[in-house]
Amino acid sequence: MTDETLNTLRQHIENLVESGEVEELQQVLAGLHPSDIADLFPRLGRLEQNFIWDLLPEEVTPDVLVELDEAFQEKVLDTLTEGEIGRLIDDMESDDAADVVGALDEEKAQKVLNTLDLEARREMRALLAYEEDTAGGIMALEVAAVRETDNVDQAIHRLREFHETEGVEDIYTVYVVDNDGVLKGAVSLRQLILAKPEVPVRDLMEPNVISVDTSTDQEEVATLVRKYDLLSIPVVDDHHRLMGRITVDDVVDVMAEEAEEDLSIIAGTGEENPGETSALRTSRERLPWLLTGLLGGLVSAVVLQHFQESLLQVIALAFFVPVITAMGGNTGIQSSSIVVRGLATGEIGLGDLLPRIWKELRVALLNGLALGLVLATIVALWLQQPHLGILIGLILLLNILIATVLGATVPIILKRLDFDPALSMGPFVTTANDIIGLLIYLGLTATFLSLQ
């Protein structure tokens, strides 16, 4: 639904609310996908929101709640009682339910959990115990599993039962477990339907199933699903027991989330949401990075002050400060971004530090020579001082070499230390690059001037 359609719809709904045409409003809502209702929600006033929420068919409210932006989800949850929230999450898949409970403050979450039956409460607690960004944190517990000792008839019976009790519509793959719940293989619905009823499941199943551990990072889950074109991936515990499954639609969300996270790390915008309307909250998200940048810039200022003698002696040295800092930043970000991408797709491994540096060094040498030559020529002609031109050109080459090596190593080191490698492209490292570049530039030119 485009932006325009949403706005037209918003106006239509506002008119209907104002004139109190409840039936017409119900009809409009019935024709909308829960995702669209969730998109519409932030555009409406408080009055319309409450009005609409009460009119939503009971079976649609959980879907709308799940699709709402985090900020608006919180607002809606605030207006609901613990009992109401309990009934809502009872109709959700376990992973969505855990997300909702996880968004509540501890006390309210506890009260909501207490409204659930014992089994559901136990499940929720187990899910909430996993780290948010791991396979355990994003998996759903509703997984269609049959025993390896079942025959096809028994297996289909088991699936029908599962479908009825859990109410799950989409059975992507049927997993096969032994008596201890250990994952043994997988079988497709099609195979089960086509096979003779008395054939043991064990004979049909594919025994090599790609699975992940509950502690596997969600980004790695996404890489596996992408690489092997999977519709769903089973999650197992330390004893290889089947704990849950992650479906491709959740992986799609993970990928979008990771891409957004990378972008926000690079730009230093924190967890800011594009839909956020409060300038104060936005300002607070961005300010820490800007302060880092300001302090870094002030360190640069100190470096420049330290070399003020040289600057006064040859004011032309100041002209090329932006060239030197910008080129270090540009080349550093290029090699960082390639390594960050390679690490994300697995094309670059954690052991590739030395070969990667070697590769980047050769690239930096080629680019540094080309760019250094251009700069040296321009500076020599401009200032009519060939020596200074050659010197500044050589410094550019050196600066590019160092920035490139730093750019290639920092992400790998960050990843080894379990930080997000995208950090290496953020304001912090860019600022560090500026300072190193300035030190090289002014240090070497000052030495050169003192030798003259």
For residues 12 and 362, which CB has a smaller minimum distance to a second copy in the complex? 362
Q: Which stretch binds a second copy (CB under 8 A): 131-139, 154-162, 236-244, 362-370?
A: 362-370
Distance CA(395)–CA(73), nearest Å, equals 54
Of 151, 216, 218, 337, the one binding a second copy (CB under 8 A) is 337
- Written as six digits, the tokens of 447 are 């030495």
**By CB under 8 A, is residue 296 in contact with a second copy?**
yes
Distance CA(48)–CA(43), nearest Å, equals 10
**By CB under 8 A, is residue 105 in contact with a second copy?**
no
Q: Give which of 331, 345, 355, 330 is closest to 262, Cα–Cα.
A: 345
Nearest distance in Å: CB 443, a second copy: 16
For residues 104 and 265, which CB has a smaller minimum distance to a second copy in the complex? 265
Nearest distance in Å: CB 295, a second copy: 9
Distance CA(174)–CA(349), nearest Å, equals 33
Q: Which stretch binds a second copy (CB under 8 A): 103-111, 140-148, 177-185, 358-366?
A: 358-366
Of 28, 199, 304, 390, the one binding a second copy (CB under 8 A) is 304
**By CB under 8 A, is residue 439 in contact with a second copy?**
no
**By CB under 8 A, is residue 384 in contact with a second copy?**
no
Residue 18 C-alpha from the chain's centroid: 40
Q: Give which of 332, 342, 333, 331 is closest to 415, Cα–Cα.
A: 342
**By CB under 8 A, is residue 167 in contact with a second copy?**
no
Phi, psi of 179 (to 5 degrees): -65, -25
**By CB under 8 A, is residue 318 in contact with a second copy?**
yes
**By CB under 8 A, is residue 410 in contact with a second copy?**
no
**By CB under 8 A, is residue 11 in contact with a second copy?**
no
Q: Which stretch binds a second copy (CB under 8 A): 70-78, 89-97, 238-246, 292-300?
A: 292-300
For residues 86 and 332, which CB has a smaller minimum distance to a second copy in the complex? 332
Kind of pairing, strands 145-147 and 183-187? unpaired
**By CB under 8 A, is residue 234 in contact with a second copy?**
no
Distance CA(364)–CA(402), nearest Å, equals 9
**By CB under 8 A, is residue 367 in contact with a second copy?**
yes
Of 251, 406, 414, 429, the one binding a second copy (CB under 8 A) is 251
Give bridge partners of residue 134 from the DSSP assignment: 217
Of 22, 366, 381, 413, the one binding a second copy (CB under 8 A) is 366
For residues 90 and 249, which CB has a smaller minimum distance to a second copy in the complex? 249
Give bridge partners of residue 186 from the DSSP assignment: 175, 206
For residues 122 and 163, which CB has a smaller minimum distance to a second copy in the complex? 163
**Residue 401 and residue 364 in contact, taking contact as beta carbons nearer than 8 Å:** yes
Q: If residue 242 lies in a helix (H) or strand (E), which one and from where to where? A: strand 242-247
**By CB under 8 A, is residue 137 in contact with a second copy?**
no
**By CB under 8 A, is residue 57 in contact with a second copy?**
no
**Residue 405 and residue 364 in contact, taking contact as beta carbons nearer than 8 Å:** yes
**Residue 348 and residue 356 in contact, taking contact as beta carbons nearer than 8 Å:** yes
Nearest distance in Å: CB 390, a second copy: 16
Phi, psi of 203 (to 5 degrees): -75, -20
**By CB under 8 A, is residue 334 in contact with a second copy?**
yes
Residue 53 CB neighbour total at 10 angstroms: 16
Distance CA(101)–CA(121), nearest Å, equals 11
For residues 124 and 303, which CB has a smaller minimum distance to a second copy in the complex? 303
**By CB under 8 A, is residue 378 in contact with a second copy?**
yes
Task: Concatenate the DSSP letters of all residues of 25-55 into one string.
Answer: HHHHHHTS-HHHHHHHGGGS-HHHHHHHHHH
For residues 113 and 400, which CB has a smaller minimum distance to a second copy in the complex? 400
**By CB under 8 A, is residue 362 in contact with a second copy?**
yes
**By CB under 8 A, is residue 371 in contact with a second copy?**
yes
CA distance from start to end of the chain: 70
Residue keyed to tokens 């360190």 = 299
For residues 83 and 349, which CB has a smaller minimum distance to a second copy in the complex? 349
Residue keyed to tokens 């070497």 = 444
